Amino acid sequence: MVIKEARFITSSQDAAKCPPPDKPEYAFIGRSNVGKSSLINMLCRYRKLAKVSSTPGKTQLLNHFLINEEWYLVDLPGYGYARTSKSNRESFNALTMAYLAGRENLMCLFVLIDIRIPPQEIDLAFMRKMGEGQLPFAIVFTKADKLRPQAITNAIENYKLRLLEEWEAIPGMFITSAEKASGRDELLNYIGTLNLTWNTE
């Protein structure tokens, strides 16, 4: 897939006020500071499309971007640690869960994982909740440029083994680096394939 145009549409603090669900939609989520904004900017090749911050928890709204006038990319608030109050973190979580539970045009949720970090219960619990809700998701490992090839292979295998302790099948996985732009074609081709199923529904 070639991205010819990517533009910001709206930020929503209420899931019910998102754009009309008339196009396929792909959302990105992960723990704070996982490199979500950098990945989105890399995918779209717009350096400042999503705001990159060194402060965890910067994304606090549902941010919609329209890609090629054909599909939506959504930057969701991160989960986990954030430099804000407990009540604010709870409101971010409630906003995200309301979006995920009610967004009928959501084709896939991409759950971002820092490849350098062993499986964390907060990520596993979130994916468990997605499975229980029968929400389609895939895992996107970020910051692969920080590890050597063998370390990447080991990290992926360790993650698969951990998932198989409670999952019958492993979700799709992508290995990416915003710094090196690796994994970009694989992710975009996957989205392009899913878009074809939207057009035939």
Q: Minimum mean pLDDT among 25-34, 169-178, 191-200: which range? A: 191-200
Whether 199 and 11 have beta carbons less than 8 Å apart is answered as no
Which structural domain range is residue 145 located in? Answer: 6-200
Query: Does an H or E element contain 127, and which?
Result: helix 121-132
Residue 58 has pLDDT above 90, yes or no: no
Let me know if residue 1 belongs to a domain: no
Mean pLDDT of 154-183: 96
63 occurs within a structural domain: yes
Instruction: Determine the Cα–Cα distance for residues 137 and 30; give it in Å rounded to an integer.
Output: 12
Is there a domain that residue 149 lies in?
Answer: yes
pLDDT tens-digit profile of 78-114? 776 544 444 444 444 788 889 999 899 999 999 999 9
Distance of CA 66 to the CA centre of its chain: 16
Q: What is the pLDDT of residue 32?
A: 82
Quick one: pLDDT at residue 60? 76
What is the per-residue pLDDT for 47? 72
- The CATH number covering residue 171 comes to 3.40.50.300
pLDDT of residue 184: 97
Q: Among residues of the chain, what percentage have pLDDT more than 90?
A: 73
CA distance 175 to 65: 23
Query: The whole model's pTM is what?
Result: 0.90
Torsions phi, psi for 173 (to 5 deg): -130, 140
Is 75 among the domain residues?
Answer: yes
Q: Is the pLDDT of residue 12 over 80?
A: yes
* Cα distances (Å, whole numbers) of residue 65 to 69, 77, 86, 89, 190: 10, 14, 28, 23, 18
What is the arrangement of strands in the sheet containing 173-175, beginning at the earlier edge strand?
Answer: 6-12, 62-67, 71-75, 25-30, 106-114, 137-142, 173-175
Instruction: Specify burial of residue 48 (Cβ count, 10 A radius: 0-12, 13-18, 19+).
Output: exposed
Q: Is residue 34 part of a domain?
A: yes
Question: How many domains, in total, are found in the chain?
Answer: 1
Q: What is the pLDDT of residues 110-162, one digit of tens each?
A: 999 999 999 999 999 999 999 999 999 999 999 999 999 999 999 999 999 99
